[in-house]
Amino acid sequence: MIRIDRSTVDPPKDLCGEKSAGLKEDEKASIYYQGQEWQKKAFPFKAYKSPSVREALDKLFRGKCAYCESPLPTQPPEIEHWRPKGATYEGNALKPPGYWWLAAKWENLLISCIDCNRERSYVVNGTPVKLGKACKFPLAPGSPHASKPGEESLEQPLLIDPCREDPSQYLKFMGNGMVTPQEDASGQPCGKGLQSIEVYGLKRETLVRERKRQAELIKLQMSQVLERIGRLERGEVDPAAGKADLKEQLKLLSRFVEDDQPYLGLAHQLIDPFIRNPKGFDLKSV
C-alpha cells in the first residue's frame, strides 16, 4: 500500500455538480433513510458505478488495487467504499444502515481487487481464516460510530485510507514478501497496522508470493549496483565508463519505484535506504 494524492485527479462528473447523478442520489437517499423502509430493503445505490467514476479511480490508482497494489485484472475491478455504504458490522452481526450519505462521495471511493474487497475463505499456516474487507470498518475502542452526516469526522478508524495518510507509518514490508505492523510509541504493533493487514487480507499466500518475487528482482538489481560500485572502488574499470555503467544500473533500479509498478510500498522500503547509503558510496558523484 502506498500514499496516493487524490487531488491529482479531478472528481468524476457523475458525482459532482448541481445536476450530477451523485447529488440527485444523495437527495433521494436522504429522504429514504428518514423513513423506516431501509430496515427491510437496501437503497439501490447506482451513481458510484458510472464509467466516469471507474475511469477516474483507475487513473488515480494507476491501474492497481488501492489496498494490496496488485495490478488489476482485465475484467472490471470493484469500486470500493472505504466507509461501507449499506451496512457495517457490530461484533459478528451485519447491521444497516451504513454510511449511506457517503455512497456517492468521491473522497470515500477507491478501486480494489476482488480479493481485498470481498470476504473469502483461505488457509493460512494450515488454519482456515476469512480475509477481505466486505463491510468491515473497525473503530478504536471507545470511538463513536457515526449515524448521520458529519459525525464520521469524530470517528477513529482502525483501517488505513491510502488517500488520507501514509501507509508506511503503519506497515512494514520485508524482503520475503511478508508485511507486519509498525511499532507504536510503546514498542507494540500499532493497531491500525494490525487491523489493516487482517481486514484487507495483506498476508494472503498468493499476495505474499508476488511481493516476494518483486522483492527478489529488486534485490538482484541492488546487487548489480553494488557490483559496479565495487569495480569502481577497486579501480577495475575506467572511471568515466564505470560511472556511466553504474548510472544505468541505478536507472534500472529506479524503475521499481515508478508510479505504474506494483507493490511500491515494498519497493520504497527496500530501495530508499539502499539509495541513501549503498555501503558508504556517494551516489551523488555519479
Q: pLDDT tens digits for the chain (286 residues)?
A: 999 999 999 999 999 888 899 999 999 999 999 998 898 898 999 999 999 999 999 999 999 999 999 999 866 789 999 999 999 988 788 889 999 999 999 999 999 999 999 988 877 777 788 889 999 999 999 999 999 999 999 999 999 999 999 999 999 999 999 999 999 889 999 999 999 999 999 999 999 999 999 999 999 999 999 999 999 999 999 999 999 999 999 999 999 999 999 999 999 999 999 988 776 666 665 6
**pLDDT of 282:** 62
Backbone angles phi and psi of 264, in degrees to 5: -70, -30
Query: What is the maximum alpha-carbon separation in the chain?
Result: 80
The H or E element containing residue 131 is strand 127-131
**pLDDT of 18:** 83
Q: How far apart are CA 158 and CA 168, in angstroms?
A: 15
**pLDDT of 164:** 96
Backbone angles phi and psi of 162, in degrees to 5: -65, -10
**pLDDT of 75:** 65
Q: How far apart are CA 211 and CA 91, in angstroms?
A: 32
**pLDDT of 269:** 96
Beta strand 127-131 pairing with 120-124:
antiparallel
In 3D space, the residue among 2, 176, 53, 203 whose CA is nearest the CA of residue 116 turns out to be 203
Q: How far apart are CA 160 and CA 148, in angstroms?
A: 22
pTM: 0.90
